[in-house]
């Protein structure tokens, strides 16, 4: 007897039976076809326990950090169902890609069940940028010497979307952007920094909209922008690479601050600390070696994959200067129920 599962969207199911009381393996795939870069592709698989015994889902793993996974229930009585939701963020990938999620279940700790859920897509660019990478990288520089303008060139990509013009706008006001046509299928993107008090790793997103004969197309491209700005206050570490954290566990990291340059002998005060995801990341002001510091606690919930975000520390240097120091973090969230 096998566990059978149906899909929200019909997909082929391949069942490979192992020996009794050992391993049963199941595979299911959903194809998205040609998609835009940067799309977050979402699909849900329905899993039903058709065994006569209770099914416990004990481990879940993804083939890459581009996938966020959530599951409704981890213990299924006979006849019960749950949904496994997969989100595939295509922003760092091009061409034909597929991602796998491996789900392990057990029946009375005897029979082991392996599920392989697969999403596949072909990602084709609408536009291509000079100095192509995931981010439009503005570079690293001292605050007082930050360049006022950075230029990138844009050409038409291979995606079949029909368009003849584009527009650009930033999500936040720390930069400005303009885009202009400079030749057949070639545009110039000009980025202006509008920053006086932000330090650390600065992120923003540019939204590109595409137009055909004056009518806006359905597709929009979100392109991240990054700059590293060094000023009178720096953090150690400059980025938090937290590593692997299991759900229902907590990991604590300490961010130390120090003054430098012209402010090296000046006292400073942490006014506030904010987190980009306050539901499962908590930050508090503490004191380390008689200096202000920040304690960050990561406590992920029932969602798996790579998590990005930032800690924003507002610091006052002498009576008048206030800076916002941004420290980015990366966490890989896993399930550890089988350990």
pLDDT > 90 fraction of the chain, expressed in percent and rounded = 20
Q: In whole angstroms, give the CA distance from residue 299 to residue 307.
A: 12
113 versus 124: the higher-pLDDT residue is 124
pLDDT of residue 303: 65
pLDDT of residue 114: 80
pTM: 0.67
Q: Which residue has the tokens 């202000």?
A: 292
DSSP designation for 148 = S
Q: Which of 56, 55, 72, 69 is nearest to 100 (CA)?
A: 69
First to last CA, the chain: 28
pLDDT of residue 141: 86
pLDDT of residue 17: 35
Q: In whole angstroms, give the CA distance from residue 222 to residue 208.
A: 6
Task: Give the chain's domains with CATH numbers.
Answer: 13-123 (2.60.40.10), 127-230 (2.60.40.60), 233-334 (2.60.40.10)
Mean pLDDT across 263-289: 86
From its phi and psi, is residue 185 left (phi > 0), alpha (psi between -120 and 50) or beta?
A: left
Tell me: the pLDDT tens digits for 189-199? 999 888 778 89
**DSSP letters spanning 155-177:** EE-SS----SEEEEEESSTTEEE
Question: Cis peptide leading into 240, omega within 30 of 0?
Answer: no
Q: In whole angstroms, give the CA distance from residue 203 to residue 171.
A: 10
pLDDT of residue 63: 80
pLDDT of residue 12: 29
pLDDT of residue 4: 34
From its phi and psi, is residue 261 left (phi > 0), alpha (psi between -120 and 50) or beta?
A: left
pLDDT of residue 6: 29
53 versus 216: the higher-pLDDT residue is 216
When mean pLDDT is compared across 86-100, 166-180, 306-320, the lowest value belongs to 86-100
23 has a pLDDT exceeding 60 = no
Tell me: the pLDDT tens digits for 157-214? 888 888 999 999 999 888 889 999 998 889 999 998 887 788 988 888 999 999 999 9
328 has a pLDDT exceeding 60 = yes
Task: Please provide the size of the chain in residues.
Answer: 339
pLDDT of residue 86: 87
Q: Which residue has the tokens 């069942």?
A: 15
209 versus 147: the higher-pLDDT residue is 209
Pick from 130-144, 205-219, 233-247 the range whose average pLDDT is largest.
205-219
């Amino acid at each position: 007897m096998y566990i059978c599962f149906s899909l929200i969207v019909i997909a082929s199911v391949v069942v490979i039976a192992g020996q009794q009381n050992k391993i049963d393996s199941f595979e299911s795939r959903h194809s998205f076809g040609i998609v835009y870069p940067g799309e977050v592709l979402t699909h849900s698989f329905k899993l039903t326990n058709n065994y006569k015994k209770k099914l416990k889902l004990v481990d879940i793993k993804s083939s890459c950090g581009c996938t966020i996974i959530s599951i409704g229930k981890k213990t299924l009585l006979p006849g019960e169902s749950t949904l496994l939701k997969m989100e595939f963020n295509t922003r760092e990938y091009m061409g034909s890609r597929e991602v796998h999620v491996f789900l392990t279940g057990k029946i009375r700790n005897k029979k082991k069940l392996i599920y392989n859920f697969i999403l596949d897509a072909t990602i084709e660019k609408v536009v291509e940028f000079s100095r192509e990478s995931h981010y439009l990288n503005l570079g690293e520089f001292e605050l007082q010497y930050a360049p006022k303008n950075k230029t990138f060139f844009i050409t038409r990509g291979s995606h079949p979307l029909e368009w003849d013009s584009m527009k650009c706008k930033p999500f936040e006001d720390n930069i400005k952007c303009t885009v202009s046509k400079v030749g057949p299928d070639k545009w110039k993107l000009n980025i202006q920094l509008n920053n006086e008090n932000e330090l650390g790793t600065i992120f923003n997103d540019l939204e590109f909209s595409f137009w055909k004969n004056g009518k806006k197309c359905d597709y929009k491209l979100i392109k991240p922008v990054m700059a590293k700005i060094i000023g009178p206050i720096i953090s150690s570490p400059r980025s938090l690479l937290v590593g692997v954290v299991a759900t229902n566990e907590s990991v604590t990291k300490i961010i130390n601050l120090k003054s430098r340059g012209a402010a090296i002998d000046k006292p400073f005060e942490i006014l506030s600390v904010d987190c980009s995801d306050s539901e499962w990341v908590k930050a508090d002001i503490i004191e380390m070696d008689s200096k202000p510091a920040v304690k960050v606690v990561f406590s992920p919930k029932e969602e798996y994959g790579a998590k990005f975000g930032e800690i924003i520390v507002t610091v006052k240097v002498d009576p008048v200067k206030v800076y916002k120091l941004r420290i980015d973090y990366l966490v890989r969230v896993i399930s550890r129920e089988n350990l």
